[in-house]
Chain A
Amino acid sequence: MYEQIARNKRKTVAIVAGALVFTGGIGFLLGLLIGRGSFQVGLAALIIALLIAAGLSYYSYEYGDRIVLRASRARAVTHDEEPRLHNVVEGIAIAAGLPKPAVYVVPEKAPNAFATGRDPQHSSIAVTQGLLEMMDRVELEGVIGHEMSHVRDRDILLGTVVATLVGSVVLIAEFMLRWFWWGGGMMGRGRDREGGGEGFAILALVGIVLAILAPLIAQIIKLAMSRRREYLADAEGAMLTRYPPGLANALKKIAADNTPMRVANNATAHLWIAQPSRIPGEANHWFENLFSTHPPIQDRIRILEEM
């Protein structure tokens, strides 16, 4: 458990460092190209890019949980609105010896749940409306036990930073890709005036870089959020409730449900207890599988049943 915490902190630092180097490098290259090989312009662009990346990192550390919660359209619920959920969360928090996380509900029919925050003192657990309706108390305790283990092991820190940092890189990439399409046309006009295809070449290069970016980022997420931690959270969650069949039954219900999730997206998919899908039907779309961070749910059920 303590080594898991240490490993997660190390990985978070590595991800942030990676993001700094990555954006710094891109910035430097862009600067060099824009400044036509001028080292000063390249350096200035590098510094600006680093500042942006550092700001982004700090932001995702400090406010990442709020961004993730808002991206999932999660709503804070009071004890009076959801007494059962609040009671279960508080009970499991006591079992783990942790402060009680904030409790959120996501207005989705598909049963799912996630935890976010930077440490157990600043943590939140969100479950979907569908999960609340579908699960009995014992199954709900199983799911919350799984999430509480993520909180205790600091998986939430790494997961949240990955979601917001990598998510924002994906966002910027998409933005630039669009800019490339539009800008490409405008540059075409500019070419007549300036007579140089350089501007276009720069953007073409950026476009190519971004084209190989998406699968690369997917790989980063996969590497960071190893499948082992889901098995680990299952096992530790079962230890908290001392009742593995609770979580096993919950996972069975989740596996049997094929309702698509509207708020599912590739930046936050790794946070949920089960891989969310935007497309109805049993299988996830191939593009979603590219970002697949979860072990097969049948394996998880089997392991829990063998406990």
Chain B
Amino acid sequence: MIALWIIVGIAALVLLYGVFTYNRLVRLRVRTENAWSQIDVQLRRRYDLIPNLVESVKGYAAHERELFEDVTRARAQAQAASGVQDQAQAENQLTRSLSRLLAVAENYPDLKASQNFLALQEELTGTESRIAYARQFYNDTVQALNTLIQSFPSRIVAGLGHFEPREFFEIDEPARGPVSVQF
């Protein structure tokens, strides 16, 4: 009789653990999806800024055509990218071409002094740091989710519930530390 109760008790504990872990996995997965959509929002804000930025530089440095085409192409590629890896690669490309654009802008004192350009630059810096923070939050969440999926005994629950590990969003960092992006 006592043995039966012990078995029932253990079964109940196992079930409780299963439910608890399952719910935690669901919570983390939802959080990961939210974090990803936050990255998406911020990336889109950067896409929206780029045409204005290009126009504003064009007004002072019209002959740097190659550069403008480069940025526009990188933007189109980034917008078309799908999947975490592809997106990260396309964003890297875009970040690099944007850095070149802003480096060139340094050579035009009139442009650098223009209110419009300064405002755009602040918006770009803000957006880039938001992307960095959104990425940080996303990667932290992915790490928590992946750890839970891969460690024992929670991996059994994850396997039963078909939870898949997520990919990290890796971009090359413009010397993290001061987030004030050094172009």
Contact = CB atoms under 8 A, between A and B. Distances in A.
B31 A97 contact: yes
Interface stretch (A88-96, A120-128, A163-171): A88-96
Contact of A88 (B42, B126, B127): B126
A242 B126 CA distance: 17
B154 interface: no
Contact of A83 (B35, B123, B176, B177): B123
Nearest to A87: B126
Given A83-B119, A83-B122, A87-B126, A94 B180 contact: no
Contacts, number: 59
Interface residues of A, number: 19
Is chain A's interface secondary structure helix, strand, loop, or mixed overall? helix
A141 interface: yes
Interface in A228-264: 241-243
Contact of B122 (A87, A91, A96, A243): A87
Interface in B31-82: 31, 34-35, 38, 42
B92 interface: no
A242 B123 contact: no
A88 B126 CA distance: 7
A138 B177 CA distance: 8
B122 A94 contact: no
A84 interface: yes
Interface in B128-183: 129-130, 132-134, 136-137, 141, 176-180
B131 to A, nearest CB: 9
Nearest to A93: B133
B179 to A, nearest CB: 6
5 contacts: A94-B42, A94-B130, A94-B133, A136-B180, A243-B177
Interface of B: 31, 34-35, 38, 42, 119, 122-123, 125-127, 129-130, 132-134, 136-137, 141, 176-180
Kindly list the 4 A-B residue pairs having the minimum CB-CB distance in the complex, ordered from nearest. Answer: A87-B126, A95-B133, A94-B133, A91-B130
